[in-house]
Structure 1
Amino acid sequence: MPLADDDHAGYRIREQRRLRRLSQRELADRIPYSLSLLNQVECGARSATPGLVAAVAQALGVDASKLTGPAAAGPLPSERLLALVAPLREALDRFDLGPNPDLTTVQPARDLIAKADAVCRQVRAARLRAAAAALPGLILELTHCVWTSPSAPLWRALASAYRTAHDVALKLGHPDLARVALDRMGWAAGKASDPCTEAVQRYKRAILWRCATSLPLISSGHGLLTGETSREALAVAGQLHLGAVTVAAKNEDASAVATHLAAARELADRVGGEAREVHWLSFGRVNVQLHELGASIAMRRFDDALGQARALKLPDSMLMSRRARYLVDRALVEMEAGSPKTSLRYLAEARKAAPEQTRHLPGTRATIRGLVHMSRRAPDSLGGMARWIGM
């Protein structure tokens, strides 16, 4: 798998060359530079001059920015992403402006509450664009209602809609907007006086930031649940431990990972089965296994991750968003194990299962770049996958 310090112009030249199934000799024959120089540039021994970059870009039929600039951040053109997120951003900005005079008709509260649940279900089914299209209007109507006829169920529904907005923004590559949505979720959850919803918001903040304040957020989330013994509270407490696993893995704290995994397993046993209906967390034994796999990947313990990935048996009821994430993780660890064909097969499965989500997962790009790095000439299927994510 390519390391961060491999991300230089020479590496990207090699990457694009292999995607076009050219050898170094074949590319050198197409540019006014020697094979020896091209080899040194590709391996990072020499810097790529502007003239060489321009010549290679012309020979490969790509824009020079693909060879000199950062890797593309997302597969959708910026104007299409803007069309998805701009209305959502505007809806989030109306949170404290009181009743909306532009809304001439508003759906009944029970319908809005049901729609908040439905749009969350769309995200779990990896239908991101459908959710992104539905959210702005839903948030505007819910915001209007909590100002005109506030109730705990409406505040909870608004908090849920904000949480879904966070998920959509994050999956579409807008972490700044995801943070705004989480702030709004915390505001609405506080108005609802719902400790479980507030704890879920702390969990989301912790895994989004993954910094020094993340573990205190996890602790404060557990504090909100003190004395709570319902199945809902147990599931949320368990998910908080899984959030701590994610943070600890990023910090390569194997001891903390093991401690929080053990606590999550104990709570999963008490919850029994998969708590899909609890804040759409799907907390349960399989979710604990998925987080254990993710922690092994984050800590680059790929031998452990490979065994965990191959031992996992996902139930048919597993949410599509989680299934796609597992398939991408499986592709990544198979690539690291030196099984490129198997890796590419799992990527293809993820693409078929949840194309919108798979395109945006960081593991997808890391796996494809790793597979290109392993291939002297990328097979057509890999080249097609690379073009699909914008490489």
Structure 2
Amino acid sequence: MPHHADDHTGARIADYRKLRHLTQAGLAQRAFVSRGTIAKIEAGLSPASPAVVAAVARALEVDVAVLNGQPYLAEMRQDQLDRMIAPLTHALDRYDLGPDPSIRPRPLRQVSAEVDELCKAACATEYTRTGDRLPALLSELTTLISGLPDGEDRRRAAAQLAWCYWVAYEFAYRLGLHHLATIALERMGFMGEQAQDPLILAIRLQRRSSMLLRHSDSPMALRVLDRAHQLVAQHDAPRSVPALAVSGSLHLAGAIATAQAKNAEDVKERMKEARRVAERIGRDVPREYWASFGPTSVAHFDVATAVELGQLGEAMKLARKVRFPADHPRMRVGRYHMELARAYSQMGRSEAAQKELFRAREAAPQQARYHPLMRETVGVLVRRSRAVPGTLASLAAWVGM
């Protein structure tokens, strides 16, 4: 069912602030943001950026998901995603129980091909497709690896199972099921160790850094990313394209972390390192360890970090240079347009913000429907409008407002 017009992140922040007996000025001081920012967000007149929500959640001692109103159960029921949660939970819980006698696993070659398709679907934010197939594939691979002796085949199977856990993380995290996402990341690390692949372990740490940024813990996120860089250096071929792609994606993650910490100089240095790696590769490599790295990603993150730093004019200037190739991951394209929509909203350019929101929906519909930034920006535009246009009203209904 649709949410009430006053059911938004700012309203929930106001509720928890009052429960903690804090004034807006007191919360602003604890969260290291301005009182004006808190006031606008609580009134629903300014979109609550992920960094601000994380800082406020930490100050209020509440989980980010609570302030975002996640998970969006009504919409998940409409899309029949809620029925996939229990099977996935059970599959994640069976990782150490040995073979399932009721399963006859296929040859590893066939299973690996399906894992590859599932990873593609995750990058395309096709939640229904991934959630529907993932539990059975996890169980099949768990049984398959249990029957393999130590050796190359077992390491290959472990790598495939690690990627399945990565897909589980993406599915759970994007739907706001953060506890389940944390479990999936733990399982990914367990299998990455058995696969003896430092690049898988580095990708896992990159996702862990994202979880830390949810809690506004950029110092710890950066420590985790430093460890990930050390793992890349341990790879047998640290100058190979896969290792470079993972390394470049870690630099981009570090740039976002330092942007959230408002450290513009550090952002500049990390983006410079990412650009050097992209130039060394010389092209986009969206499927190398699913790191989705290359010149296009660097151009995207130039815009994203500028938005995060509040340099909105610079972000708009940089955005003119961004062109996404047809095979660029839909999750990246959708997120880019949501970031631009937030920037336009902050600049008071409602029509431009709406166009970007529709582009985000077109690029990655399920991601857009379940992303807090999407519905926060839609909500702000609705509350600012004296007469809500039909297109905006339909978008608001689609995200569940």
Q: TM-score, normalised by structure 1?
A: 0.79
Looking at structure 2, the residues matched to 289 and 263 of structure 1 have their Cα atoms a distance apart, in angstroms, of 13
The structure-2 alpha-carbon separation of the partners of 1:304 and 1:81, relative to structure 1 and needing over 3 Å to count, comes to same
Structure 1 counterpart of 2:70, from 52, 70, 73: 73
1:296 matches 2:306: yes
| Residue 267 of structure 1: how far off its partner (Å) | 0.6
| Residue 5 of structure 1: how far off its partner (Å) | 7.4
Looking at structure 2, the residues matched to 354 and 276 of structure 1 have their Cα atoms a distance apart, in angstroms, of 16
The structure-2 alpha-carbon separation of the partners of 1:237 and 1:378, relative to structure 1 and needing over 3 Å to count, comes to same
Structure 1 partner of 2:212: 209
3-state SS, counterpart of residue 323 of structure 1: helix
The structure-2 alpha-carbon separation of the partners of 1:70 and 1:168, relative to structure 1 and needing over 3 Å to count, comes to closer
Out of 177-186 and 217-226, give the one that drifted further: 217-226
Looking at structure 2, the residues matched to 162 and 378 of structure 1 have their Cα atoms a distance apart, in angstroms, of 42
| Residue 362 of structure 1: how far off its partner (Å) | 2.3
Structure 2 partner of 1:343: 353
Letter paired with 1:95? Y
Structure 1 partner of 2:148: 149
Structure 1 partner of 2:86: 86
1:385 matches 2:395: yes
Structure 2 partner of 1:60: none
Looking at structure 2, the residues matched to 280 and 148 of structure 1 have their Cα atoms a distance apart, in angstroms, of 28
1:120 matches 2:119: yes
Letter paired with 1:179? T
Looking at structure 2, the residues matched to 298 and 180 of structure 1 have their Cα atoms a distance apart, in angstroms, of 29
CA contact (8 A) 2:99 2:146 kept: yes
| Residue 101 of structure 1: how far off its partner (Å) | 2.4
Letter paired with 1:332? R
The structure-2 alpha-carbon separation of the partners of 1:340 and 1:43, relative to structure 1 and needing over 3 Å to count, comes to closer
Identity across aligned pairs (percent)?
A: 31
| Residue 81 of structure 1: how far off its partner (Å) | 4.2
The structure-2 alpha-carbon separation of the partners of 1:363 and 1:318, relative to structure 1 and needing over 3 Å to count, comes to same
1:310 matches 2:310: no
Structure 2 partner of 1:220: 227
Letter paired with 1:224? L
The structure-2 alpha-carbon separation of the partners of 1:198 and 1:344, relative to structure 1 and needing over 3 Å to count, comes to same
Q: How does 1:47-62 map to 2 (within 5 A)?
A: none
| Residue 201 of structure 1: how far off its partner (Å) | 1.0
Looking at structure 2, the residues matched to 325 and 70 of structure 1 have their Cα atoms a distance apart, in angstroms, of 20
CA contact (8 A) 2:92 2:184 kept: yes
Letter paired with 1:386? A
Looking at structure 1, the residues matched to 14 and 156 of structure 2 have their Cα atoms a distance apart, in angstroms, of 52
Out of 289-298 and 230-239, give the one that drifted further: 289-298
Structure 1 counterpart of 2:338, from 303, 328, 349: 328
| Residue 8 of structure 1: how far off its partner (Å) | 4.9
Looking at structure 2, the residues matched to 93 and 162 of structure 1 have their Cα atoms a distance apart, in angstroms, of 12
Structure 2 partner of 1:171: 174
| Residue 249 of structure 1: how far off its partner (Å) | 1.6
3-state SS, counterpart of residue 215 of structure 1: helix
3-state SS, counterpart of residue 348 of structure 2: coil
Letter paired with 1:266? R
The structure-2 alpha-carbon separation of the partners of 1:3 and 1:297, relative to structure 1 and needing over 3 Å to count, comes to farther
Letter paired with 2:97? L
The structure-2 alpha-carbon separation of the partners of 1:357 and 1:6, relative to structure 1 and needing over 3 Å to count, comes to closer
1:138 matches 2:137: yes
CA contact (8 A) 2:369 2:399 kept: yes
Structure 2 partner of 1:35: none
Out of 378-387 and 69-78, give the one that drifted further: 69-78
Structure 2 partner of 1:15: none
Structure 1 partner of 2:201: 198
Looking at structure 1, the residues matched to 224 and 138 of structure 2 have their Cα atoms a distance apart, in angstroms, of 26
* 1:55-90 per-position Cα deviation (integer Å, ceiling 9, x unaligned): xxxxxxxxxxxxxx9664355526544312221111
Structure 2 counterpart of 1:369, from 370, 379, 390: 379
| Residue 114 of structure 1: how far off its partner (Å) | 1.0
Letter paired with 1:191? Q
3-state SS, counterpart of residue 295 of structure 1: helix
| Residue 297 of structure 1: how far off its partner (Å) | 2.3
Letter paired with 2:383? H
CA contact (8 A) 1:75 1:388 kept: no
3-state SS, counterpart of residue 98 of structure 2: coil
CA contact (8 A) 1:155 1:188 kept: yes
Looking at structure 2, the residues matched to 294 and 342 of structure 1 have their Cα atoms a distance apart, in angstroms, of 17
| Residue 117 of structure 1: how far off its partner (Å) | 0.8
CA contact (8 A) 1:207 1:246 kept: no
Looking at structure 2, the residues matched to 353 and 43 of structure 1 have their Cα atoms a distance apart, in angstroms, of 30
Looking at structure 2, the residues matched to 74 and 248 of structure 1 have their Cα atoms a distance apart, in angstroms, of 27
Structure 2 partner of 1:356: 366
1:187 matches 2:190: yes
CA contact (8 A) 1:73 1:173 kept: yes
| Residue 263 of structure 1: how far off its partner (Å) | 0.7
CA contact (8 A) 2:9 2:68 kept: no
Out of 239-248 and 80-89, give the one that drifted further: 80-89
Q: Runs of 4+ in structure 1 displaced over 6 angstroms?
A: none
Structure 1, unaligned runs of 5 or more: 10-41, 45-68
Q: How does 1:89-100 map to 2 (within 5 A)?
A: 89-100=89-100
| Residue 208 of structure 1: how far off its partner (Å) | 1.9
The structure-2 alpha-carbon separation of the partners of 1:3 and 1:257, relative to structure 1 and needing over 3 Å to count, comes to farther
Structure 1 partner of 2:246: 236
Looking at structure 1, the residues matched to 390 and 163 of structure 2 have their Cα atoms a distance apart, in angstroms, of 43
| Residue 180 of structure 1: how far off its partner (Å) | 0.8
CA contact (8 A) 2:378 2:396 kept: yes
